[in-house]
Amino acid sequence: MSSDKRSQRPAGDASQAQAKTYYDDFSGWYERERSRGYHVMLDDIEVAVAEPFARGKDILEMGCGTGLIMRRLAPLARSAKGVDISPGMIELAKERGLDVQLGSVTELPFEDQSFDLVYSFKVLAHIPDIGVALSEAARVTRPGGHMLLEFYNPLSLRYAAKRIAGPQRISETRTEADMYTRWDSPFVIPKLLPPNVQLEGFRGVRVLTPAAFVHRVPVVGAALRRAESLVVDSPLRYFGGFLIAVLKRVD
């Protein structure tokens, strides 16, 4: 297992409680910057990666947050469900009319082999028990079904920027330092997978962006957005700040 060695690893119930408190606090600020620029670019790329796998399928979002991604994929799917550990996030997602419920990605409240697609963006990097979360994703995926699971990549400009800038504020009283964060390279991720899961490839998100604020510059931001969409599946994908593993359950 690879993780950011500067992060402390909370265990068991303490970790669950920490995550719930953190994301409840975050829920009030979560969408403040999500309707423009950098964050819209990330959402658009993640949706584009997931769309072909979601069409006409039963899908699950692990760590659905307020439902910003789920609301775009649900109309394409046969059925769409979401789970999140934060009551605050779930409340906002339900206001969007989404089928979501409280639950942990390390103990999913669903039967075995319930979904054709299980996806998770910007969540697994904050899970200390990553092996348990990956096994849970595989458990609820049908044989032949897919998982799109996103990791934070230390081989990226984003990692360098985080080290330089330090933890950012996520609410009036909290910063990113209040939450466990792991960084898993494309060389380590295959070693984390359950035996019944096959890695089909990676998609790279935020490959070229040196810092999020660059997307606020009109001409530069627009050009960078186009460039980012072109390198998602290129050889440069391995340097994406967000690395989406395309996985298939093989048994």
123: domain CATH number is: 3.40.50.150
The average pLDDT across 58-86 equals: 97
Structural domain count, the chain:
1
Structural tokens at position 126: 């904050």
Alpha carbons 165 and 163: distance in angstroms, whole number: 6
225-236 in b/e burial notation, b at 16+ Cβ within 10 A? beebeebbeeee
Q: Does residue 3 lie within any of the structural domains?
A: no
- Give which of 81, 192, 87 is closest to 133, Cα–Cα: 192
Q: Does residue 122 lie within any of the structural domains?
A: yes
Task: Using the predicted structure, report yes or no on whether residue 229 has a pLDDT greater than 70.
Answer: yes
Q: Does residue 2 lie within any of the structural domains?
A: no
DSSP-assigned states of every residue in 175-198: BGGGS------TTTHHHHS-TTEE
Name 191's Cβ contacts closer than 8 Å, sequence gap at least 6: none
Please write the tens of the pLDDT for every residue from 43-58.
999 999 999 999 999 9
Please write the tens of the pLDDT for every residue from 86-134.
999 999 999 999 999 999 999 999 999 999 999 999 999 999 999 999 9
Q: Does residue 6 lie within any of the structural domains?
A: no
pTM assigned to the model: 0.86
Looking at residue 16, its pLDDT comes to 59
Please write the tens of the pLDDT for every residue from 200-228.
999 999 999 998 889 989 899 999 999 99
Domain extent at residue 200: 12-249
Q: Does residue 116 lie within any of the structural domains?
A: yes
Number of alpha carbons in the 13 Å side-chain half-sphere of residue 172: 1
Q: Does residue 226 lie within any of the structural domains?
A: yes
